[in-house]
Homo-oligomer: A and B are copies of this chain.
Amino acid sequence: MAYTTLHIPTSGERFYNITENVKNALENILKDSEGKSVSGVLHLFTTHTSCSLTISEAYDPAAAKDVESFFKHLAPRNLGFITHTDEGEDDSPSHMKSVLLNQALSFIVEDKKLILGTWQGIYLAEFRDANKKREVLVKFVPDQT
**Which chain A residues have a beta carbon within 8 Å of chain B's beta carbons?**
1-3, 39-41, 43, 45-50, 54-58, 60, 62-63, 65-67, 69-70, 73-75, 79, 81-84, 86, 91-92, 95-96, 98-108, 110, 115-120, 135, 137, 139, 141-144
> Nearest chain B CB to A62's CB is how many angstroms away?
4
Docked Cα-Cα span, A81 to B62, in Å, equals 11
Q: Contact at A96–B70, with CB atoms within 8 Å?
A: yes
Instruction: Please report whether the interface of chain A is mostly helix, strand, loop or mixed according to DSSP.
Output: mixed
Docked Cα-Cα span, A103 to B105, in Å, equals 9
Q: Which residues of B contact A55 (CB under 8 A)?
A: 49, 99, 103-104
Q: Contact at A47–B95, with CB atoms within 8 Å?
A: no
Q: Contact at B95–A83, with CB atoms within 8 Å?
A: no
Q: Contact at A84–B66, with CB atoms within 8 Å?
A: yes
Given A70-B75, A92-B63, A106-B106, A117 and B49 contact (CB-CB distance below 8 Å):
yes
Q: Contact at A108–B66, with CB atoms within 8 Å?
A: no
Docked Cα-Cα span, A79 to B62, in Å, equals 14
Q: Contact at A104–B107, with CB atoms within 8 Å?
A: yes
